[in-house]
Amino acid sequence: MNEPVVDAASQSGAPDAPCAADASAPAARHVGPLGLAVGAIGVVFGDIGTSPLYALRDTFAGHHPLPLDQLHVYGIVSLMFWSMMLIVTLKYVTVIMRADNKGSGGSLALLALINQHTTGRRWGKGIILLGVLATALFYSDSMLTPAVSIMSAVEGLSVYNPALHWLVVPLVVVVVVALFMLKSQHTGTAISLASSWAGPIMLVYFATISALGLRSIAADPQVIGALSPQWALAMFIADPWHGFIAMGTAVLAVTGAEALYADMGQFGRSPIRISWLVFVLPALVLNYLGQAALLLRDPSAVHSPFYLLAPAGFEWPLLIIATMAAVIAAKAVISGAFLVTQQAIQLGFIPRMTIRHTSASAGQIYIPAINWALMIAVILLVLVFERSRNLTAAYGIAVTGAMLIDNLLLAVVLFKLWRWKPLFALPLLGLFFAIDATYLGANLAKIPDGGWVPLLMGLAIFTLLTTWSRGRALMRQNMAEGALPLEVFTRSAHTSAARVPGTAVFMASAAAGVPSALLHNIKHNKVLHERVVVLTVQIDDVPMVEPAERVVVKDMGQGFYRLIMRFGFMEETDVPAALSGVTVCGEPFDMMRTSFFLSRQTLIPADVPGMALWREMLFAWMLRNAADAMGFFRLPTNRVVELGSQLKI
């Protein structure tokens, strides 16, 4: 499969004159502030919102249970509350969300923002590897979150009727299959969808857990004192080992915090901040306090303090509400995986995949390969681990690892982009590093209990991402070594081949040199079209490119044009649509008189310096299975010609 056209890093060889393009674009559907806030509750906070299902339970009934007494119950609630305040409210909502890449967030968006200012520096490659590692951990989280959330919710069935315990795993598998089948119906990642049903359902869920928490607090009002940080300190002083180990489970209260930043591009800062501070945070605090009060009144409730908060007659409605919330949380994570995959493809870390746009509005996409891969992974996790408390042992490492990497990226932003003075930056970074490093250290103790799962998955995904990125770089380097300058080619080719009517567009990976498809065409067919356009698509380190900056062109003379087409990493690479707005390359582009020529490279692994042979074989497999360029660039199928060649790296 050819790999000539997406260049995420190269900014060299820019043409001289901007090409006039149509600046009009379909207006995005307007969603008001209230709709955005409700949508954020449904999409952004599903993961962290369903943490009460298992976080406090697994602290006292998990693989490393704490003593069930006032010191430890109050200490853990205090630890969870201040973790939410410091990690979610201060770190993500207040600080990191300011580091947006023209409105977009997430590790890859932050990496692209940093890359604009670190190109060519010695530590620039290290920053890129950190961003790739964070992405690999995100995919691990995308597999674990649906399994943990849905299983924790469905296990309420066995809480209320222990005889139905055997039904939990089959029912979870059915729910998971139904969820991914629903995604396969191209529901996309639309804000409007979240606002129409997911948001209101999550509002009902948060209102419900708030009411249940208040009801339990009313029976033991002094539990509110657990919010004081002195209880967390007292627990660590009296029982430092158990306190440290407990952090590995307490971090479950902040899983999903990174989603606030990753989904910023869909909703904006203000709706996410309002939703967190006004709705989500108070609901979580009230429910955790209510669970703590219940545990001290009735220690036998430790196997499910969330579900046992329900009064008589409300058990099954709570089960239904919690399961719907878990499904919404899982759906949001899957949609997030689609968006991250799109960014990774555009930035050159993942092979091309079929991306189906489910609406004319931007950001509503469905990626079949990711959907089915996640479904298989989630089902395997459910079948292997069987109980949610076994899965939560594997949950924290991916989350804390990603948070620690975010700190490293934030440090670059503070010093290199924002130019903060060390007097202000170092104490803040020191606080964040101390918290996240301690949480990660505590989670490492869970490796024998399942913590190896996200590490193994993250390592495998990291290997795939880095192999693809390195292989593409070697391929382009190999192709560039023997490239003929286009200026030289146009002077000689003009008189050595017959000219035929129409336009030929030759796709090229580099902004300099002659693409191999053009050389093969003139060698075998000995003809040139009246207008020959050498087109390079570049993906910039910004989410969106302004229409006026979309296309630049250089007239090479004799009917030859060098054209650069720029897209943002969140945009659809629709080449024909972009060409329709070009007005200074001669006559307008008529797709019925335009042929697109693609180079199809067949990779031959060779034991030469550059990459290990096994990685070359892996890259060759990824190259063969990449989606075709026609679909990725929306080229008309009846106007495409592919010319093949073999290549060694």
What is the band of 305 on the pLDDT scale with cuts at 50, 70, 90? Answer: very high
pLDDT tens track for 369-393: 999 999 999 999 999 988 888 888 7
Q: How much of the chain exceeds pLDDT 70, in percent?
A: 88
pLDDT at 53 over 90: yes
In terms of DSSP bridges, do strands 498-507 and 527-539 run parallel, antiparallel, or are they unpaired?
Answer: parallel
Sorted by sequence, the CB contacts under 8 Å of residue 224 that are 6+ apart come out as 217, 289
53: amino acid identity, one letter:
L
For 142-154, b/e burial (b = at least 16 CB within 10 A) is bbbbbbbbbbbbb
Nearest residue to 44 via CA among 230, 359, 267? 267
Q: What angle do CA 534, 118, 462 make, to 5 degrees?
A: 80
Q: Is residue 501 predicted with pLDDT exceeding 70?
A: yes
pLDDT, residue 31, reads: 55
DSSP codes, 159-209: HH-GGGGGGHHHHHHHHHHHHHHHHHTT-TT-HHHIIIIIHHHHHHHHHHH
- pLDDT at residue 584 above 80? no
Closest by CA position to 388, among listed 48, 45, 53:
53
| Residue whose structure tokens are 């190269």 | 10
Q: Say if residue 432's pLDDT is above 70.
A: yes
In sequence order, which ranges of 67-123 are alpha helices (DSSP H)? 70-83, 107-118
pTM above the 0.85 mark? no
16 pLDDT exceeds 50?
A: no
The domains of the chain are located at 6-24+485-648, 33-227+256-388
Above pLDDT 90, what percent of the chain? Answer: 36
How many residues are recorded in the chain?
649
Q: Provide CB contacts within 8 A for 166, sequence distance 6+.
A: none
Residue 436 tokens, joined: 């996240």
Phi, psi of 359 (to 5 degrees): -160, 160
Asked if pLDDT for residue 29 goes beyond 60, the answer is no
Q: For 86-118, write each residue's pLDDT tens digit.
A: 999 999 989 988 887 776 777 777 777 777 766
- The DSSP 8-state label assigned to residue 221 in this structure reads G
Write out 211-232 in H/E/C secondary structure: HHHHHHHHHCHHHHHHHCHHHH
> Over the chain, what is the mean pLDDT?
83
Two tokens at 273? 């901040």
Q: What is the pLDDT of residues 138-191, one digit of tens each?
A: 898 889 989 999 999 999 999 999 999 999 999 999 999 999 987 665 454 444
Q: Which of 132-141, 149-158, 487-496 has the least mean pLDDT?
A: 487-496
pLDDT of residue 642: 85
Average pLDDT over residues 326-351: 87
pLDDT of residue 342: 84
Kindly state the average pLDDT of the residues 7-12.
33
Confidence category of residue 26, pLDDT binned at 50, 70, 90: very low
Q: How confident is the model at residue 643 (pLDDT cuts 50, 70, 90)?
A: confident
Residue 619, both tokens:
């890259």
Beta carbons within 10 angstroms of residue 379's beta carbon: 17
